[in-house]
Amino acid sequence: MGDEGLDVSGLSIGILGGTGHQGMGLAHRFAAVGHQVLIGSRSAARAHEAAESLGPGLPVRGEENAVVAAESDVVIIAVPWEGHRLTLEALRPVLAGKIVVNCVNPLGFDKQGAYPLDVEEGSAAQQAAAILPESRVVAAFHHVSAVLLLDPEVSEIDLDVLVLGDDRQATDTVQALAARIPGMRGVYGGRLRNAHQVEAFTANLISINRRYKAHAGIRVTDV
Amino acid sequence: MGDEGLDVSGLSIGILGGTGHQGMGLAHRFAAVGHQVLIGSRSAARAHEAAESLGPGLPVRGEENAVVAAESDVVIIAVPWEGHRLTLEALRPVLAGKIVVNCVNPLGFDKQGAYPLDVEEGSAAQQAAAILPESRVVAAFHHVSAVLLLDPEVSEIDLDVLVLGDDRQATDTVQALAARIPGMRGVYGGRLRNAHQVEAFTANLISINRRYKAHAGIRVTDV
């Protein structure tokens, strides 16, 4: 996948908004393969609690978002869309120079299901890039099923993680990180300007899950 | 896939703009499994030529777009985005009551590759639905690789066709049609309001093809 030979096993991973389902699921999987994981929250107490809830023996700590951002090699943004802009604005200096992985899906919900919200910058990832000009923003992990990530019975995650960005070294790194989780691959998915449809496609996966009673993901063929 | 027992083998398939690569590829595959296929073009002469070029012995004819729209059970819109609106406006009466399958991807290209164009109605499929209120508009076949469809060495197409629409019977029919092509599945992909990201995702597949020198498609997991 272009990341052959890239050893990312020593990278620590911070997850802002890591007390949500998606963040907890990723924390669990990355810690299970030996990454130091820092779960971030606005509240240090909630972060501690979340880290403890993943069980003993895992290399997971909980801290306030700002501490997590400062201490992690790679920072995953998993905050709710509502808090996206303000969270990133507050952390701009401490995220400078870092690989910042955006997995936020700006979605609305009504009785017909999920639909993508309009984002002024085009996508959550582009909004992050606009707020964090000194960071290396990558978009990835949009389609992970929190249910599967958190299920101890599921040993392999049947999913290709689309990794988007304009910084080749950063996307290669995130592809290699995705491949650390058993079953997952990281597949380059295009530049940041093409992130909107990957975020929005989560709405389609929600429709698919509803129709087929599934936890759907995607695989890219011929790659 | 929800279409079990739905026999669509007797349906004739018209392809407007069928002389392009995508249209020709679909014509070839549907004719190869026995569907009567009508290739449409603005020019009857070009349509005849296209039909003949697929080789003898296949149930394929070429006709002007209006004839194709009138005579086919299911009509696939494969015209270039530039001609989309005018083509459909001209055919509104003759397409009334029919299943109209939109596979148009509104994309722009520059030196960085492909990117989605803004569409006033949200997507090509929604534009089709707005122009054709009497038709049963479905969106599907966006991600088929014309190269693979037209390659006689390729016996199976490794692709899930996402089928979107608000008319259950129509989406079931198109899912069953997709499944007629060996290797393909038709998977329900959501309502028409979620078609934009499926169309736009073709830009990502183009990026993927370029990076990996592939003819990428997608498979939906857990379905």
Q: What is the DSSP string of B166-197?
A: S-HHHHHHHHHHHTTSTT-EEEEEE-GGG-HH
Helix (H) or strand (E) holding B136: strand B136-139
Cβ distance B158 to A222 less than 8 Å, yes or no, reads yes
Residue-level pLDDT at A55: 85
* Predicted confidence band of residue A4 (pLDDT cuts 50, 70, 90): low
Between A152 and A85, residue with greater pLDDT:
A85
Look up tokens 């392009």; give the residue. B20
* Predicted confidence band of residue A128 (pLDDT cuts 50, 70, 90): very high
Domains of chain B (ranges, CATH numbers): 13-212 (3.40.50.720)
Contacts of A56 (CB under 8 A, 6+ apart): none
Output the average pLDDT for chain A: 96
Interface of A with B (CB under 8 A): 2, 112-116, 158-159, 162, 164, 187-191, 193-194, 196-198, 200-201, 203-204, 207-208, 211-212, 214-223
Regions of chain B short of the pLDDT cut 70: 1-4
Residue-level pLDDT at A2: 54
Min distance A79 CA to chain B CA atoms (Å): 22
Residue-level pLDDT at A117: 98
Q: How far is CA B37 from the centre of its chain?
A: 13
Above 90 in pLDDT, residue A3?
no
* pTM, two decimal places: 0.96
Cβ distance B217 to A222 less than 8 Å, yes or no, reads yes
- Tell me the chain A residues in contact with residue B2 when contact means C-beta distances shorter than 8 Å: 211
Contact A196, A123 (CB under 8 A): yes
> What is the Cα–Cα distance from A182 to A159, expressed in whole angstroms?
10
Cβ distance B190 to A197 less than 8 Å, yes or no, reads no
pLDDT above 70 as % of chain A? 98
Min distance B79 CA to chain A CA atoms (Å): 22
Above 80 in pLDDT, residue A72?
yes
Helix (H) or strand (E) holding B50: helix B44-53
Name beta bridge partners: A107: A116
Residue-level pLDDT at A161: 98
Above 60 in pLDDT, residue A114?
yes
Residue-level pLDDT at B55: 85
**CA distances in angstroms from A72 to A12, A56, B151, listed in the order given:** 5, 21, 49
Above 90 in pLDDT, residue A96?
yes
